[in-house]
Amino acid sequence: MGTRAQNSSPAEPPAPFRQTSAQVVELRQGGGWLAIVVAGVAIALGIAGILHIAVEPAGQGIPPGLFGISVALLAFGVVMAFGRRWLTIDLSRGCVFRSYGLLGRVHTRERLLSEFNAVVIVHEAGDADSGECYPVRLRSIAEKDFAVTNPIEFGQSRSQAEYLSVFLQLPLVDTTTDHDTIVAPERAGQSLHERLPSGADEAPPMRPAKMRCQVTESLGKTVVVVPGGGSWPVAVLSVVFPLVMLLVVIPAFLRFFTRGASPLAQFAFMFAMVVIFVVPTLFVSVNLMVGSKRKRATVTASACGLEIAKRSGWRTRTTQIASADLLDLDCSTADAALKSARRSSRNLAPVPTPGAAQLAEYAKRWFPARGIIVKTRHELISFGEGLPAAELQYLSWLLRRTLAGQ
C-alpha cells in the first residue's frame, strides 16, 4: 500500500493534517483550557492563605468542599491543558496509530491499514446535545470503523477525505445523502464535470406525463423552474389567525379594560391595541400568504456550472456554482431515504413481519425527502422538496446530462 501511494500523494495536506514525511501523516489534537488550571491554582492559594479569598467560614479549619473543588479543578485542568491526542498514519509500516498522553505519548493503539477498504464521509444530523457534523472514517472490512476527524462543515470533511483517499490509495465513499457515491482514489479530487463524460451514457428515465416543474432546454443550457406553494396548514393559519385576533381577542380586551372609561380613554386604548396587535398580525399574515405562494427555485444548468435562485417571500437568494466546485447531484426520494435508513442500521438483523411491506408504503408518505441535493466543495444545497419521485429522477438525469455538455 505504501508503494502505491507514493506516486499519487497530494502535495499539501488540508488542516488539521501535517505530513511529516513522504509516507507519514500526523494529526495532533488537545491542549488549551488553561483557565481551569488558573482557577484551581487560585483556590489552592486561597486555602493556603497566600491569596485572600473572602469566604464566610462555617467553622474552624479549611472548608473540605473548597479543598475538593480545588483538587478537582487542578486535575481536570492539567489533563485538558497538557493532554494530547495523536493520530499517525504510517504507510511504510502499514499501520495507523492513536496515541494519548500528557505532552508525551503514554498509551498507543495500533491498527493495520490492510483492515480498511475505503475512506468514508458520514452525515450525523445531531440532537439536543450535539450539533450536525460530517465525520471522516476509515471503513473496516470486519471490525468497527476507525474515526479520523469530525468536521462540522461538509467542505472541510470533503477536502480531508479526498486527501486521505489519495494518500492511502483507498476509494472515497460519500454517504452524506441517500445514494452512496464511490470514487476511485485517482479521481477523488475531480469535479462532477470531469467524471461525467465516462459515465454519462446511462439510459434516460421516462419523462413524467404531468410535471409540476417547467423545463426549458436550449443550446447547451437547461432551465428548471420548481413551483412554490406552501402547505395547507400555513395557508389556513395565515387567514384564521388574523380573524381570531380581530373578531375575538381584541374585542374581549376592549370590553375588559375600557369598562366605565371615558370615550377618550377608550379611543387611546383602541389605538394602542391596533399598533401593538393589529399591525404586526396583518404583517405576519401577509408575509405567510406571499411566502407560501412565491416560494420557488429556478435552476440554470450548463457546462460551466449551476445557478440556483431560491425565492422565498420577498427575498431571492442566488447561488453560483462553478463546474470545478460541483461534486455531485443526488436525488433523494422517499424510497431512497428508507433504503438509506436501512443501510445505516445494517448491524441489526432484519425481522420479517407480515405487515412490513404495508408499513413501508405508509412510512413513505411521512418520511422526509430532500429533493435534489447538490454537493459542492463548500456546502450541500437542496431544491425540489416535495416533488414526485419520478419527476426528481428525470430532473436529476437532465441536469447531469447538461452539466456533462451533452
pLDDT of residue 369: 61
- 260-288: pLDDT as tens digits: 778 787 788 888 887 887 778 777 777 66
- The residues, any chain, with a CB within 8 Å of residue 82's CB and separated by 6 or more, are 31, 102, 103
Q: Mean pLDDT of all residues in the chain?
A: 77
Are residues 361 and 220 both part of a single domain?
A: yes
pLDDT of residue 199: 46
Are residues 219 and 272 both part of a single domain?
A: no
pTM metric for this prediction: 0.68
User: 42 vs 187, which has greater pLDDT?
Assistant: 187
**Domain annotation covers residue 343:** yes
pLDDT of residue 236: 67
pLDDT of residue 203: 73
* Spatial distance between the Cα atoms of 302 and 210, rounded to a whole number of angstroms: 25
Are residues 310 and 394 both part of a single domain?
A: yes
Are residues 329 and 349 both part of a single domain?
A: yes
Cell of 346: 445494517
CA-based diameter of the chain, in Å? 94
* Spatial distance between the Cα atoms of 96 and 89, rounded to a whole number of angstroms: 4
- The residues, any chain, with a CB within 8 Å of residue 371's CB and separated by 6 or more, are 331, 332, 382, 383, 384, 385, 386, 387, 392
Average pLDDT over residues 309-315: 76
**Domain annotation covers residue 70:** no
Domain holding 250, by residue range, is: 232-283
User: 106 vs 89, which has greater pLDDT?
Assistant: 89
- Please determine, for residue 86, whether its predicted confidence score (pLDDT) is greater than 80: yes
Work out the pLDDT band at 5, boundaries 50, 70, 90.
very low
Among 46-60, 163-177, 197-211, 289-303, which is the least confidently predicted range?
Answer: 46-60
**Domain annotation covers residue 366:** yes
**Domain annotation covers residue 384:** yes
* Spatial distance between the Cα atoms of 4 and 6, rounded to a whole number of angstroms: 6
* % of the chain at pLDDT higher than 90: 34
- Please determine, for residue 360, whether its predicted confidence score (pLDDT) is greater than 70: no
**Domain annotation covers residue 105:** no
Are residues 302 and 395 both part of a single domain?
A: yes
- 36-45: pLDDT as tens digits: 445 555 555 5
pLDDT of residue 200: 47
- The residues, any chain, with a CB within 8 Å of residue 405's CB and separated by 6 or more, are 193, 197, 220, 303
**Domain annotation covers residue 147:** no
Q: Which residue has the cell 443526488?
A: 330
- Please determine, for residue 133, whether its predicted confidence score (pLDDT) is greater than 90: yes
Query: Which of the residue ranges 241-250, 344-353, 381-390 has the most confident prediction, judged by mean pLDDT?
Result: 381-390
Among 117-126, 233-242, 386-395, which is the least confidently predicted range?
Answer: 233-242
User: 389 vs 348, which has greater pLDDT?
Assistant: 389
**Domain annotation covers residue 55:** no
User: 352 vs 307, which has greater pLDDT?
Assistant: 307
User: 114 vs 277, which has greater pLDDT?
Assistant: 114
**Domain annotation covers residue 168:** no
User: 386 vs 18, which has greater pLDDT?
Assistant: 18
- Please determine, for residue 52, whether its predicted confidence score (pLDDT) is greater than 60: no
Are residues 243 and 255 both part of a single domain?
A: yes
User: 151 vs 244, which has greater pLDDT?
Assistant: 151
Among 88-102, 304-318, 341-355, which is the least confidently predicted range?
Answer: 341-355
Residue type, 38: V
Work out the pLDDT band at 3, boundaries 50, 70, 90.
very low
Number of domains in the chain: 2
Are residues 236 and 224 both part of a single domain?
A: no
